[in-house]
Structure 1
Amino acid sequence: MSYSTVKDVLDYSRKLHEHTRNLYQQLRDQTQRERVDMMLTLLAAHENTLADAMASMQEHTSQKVLQEWHQFEPGSISEALQDARELHPDISLDELVKVALRIDDYLISLYRQILSETTSDDARAVFESLIRLEETEKMRTVRAALSANDW
Structure 2
Amino acid sequence: MRIQQLSELLDYVANCHLDMEKLYKRLDRNADSSRVKMMLTYFQQHQRHIYETLESYLEDAPSRILNTWYKDITFEDFSKRCNETSLPANMKEDEVLELHLDLENRLIALLEKTANSSPTDEIKSALMDLVRVAQTQQKRLVHSTIRMDDI
Normalising by the residue count of structure 1, what TM-score does the alignment of the two structures yield? 0.88
- Tell me the residue number matched to 1:76: 77
- Structure 2, unaligned runs of 5 or more: none
Shift of 1:22: 1.2
Shift of 1:143: 0.4
Shift of 1:15: 0.8
Q: What do the CA deviations read for 1:21-59 (whole angstroms, capped 9, x no partner)?
A: 011122222222111011101111111111111101101
Distance of 1:98 and 1:104 partners within structure 2: 10
Q: What do the CA deviations read for 1:84-115 (whole angstroms, capped 9, x no partner)?
A: 72433221100000000111111111111111
**1:76 maps to amino acid:** D
Q: 1:144 to 1:22 in 2, by over 3 A?
A: same
When structure 1 is superposed on structure 2, of 1-10 and 38-47 the one drifting more is 1-10
Aligned alpha-carbon RMSD (Å): 2.0
Q: Which runs of 4+ in 1 moved over 3 A?
A: 78-82
Distance of 2:3 and 2:38 partners within structure 1: 39
The answer to whether structure 1 residue 135 and structure 2 residue 135 are counterparts is yes
Normalising by the residue count of structure 2, what TM-score does the alignment of the two structures yield? 0.88
Trace 1:1-150 onto structure 2 (pairs within 5 A). Answer: 3-71=3-71, 72-79=73-80, 81=82, 85-150=85-150
- Contact 1:86–1:99 (CA under 8 A) maintained in structure 2: no
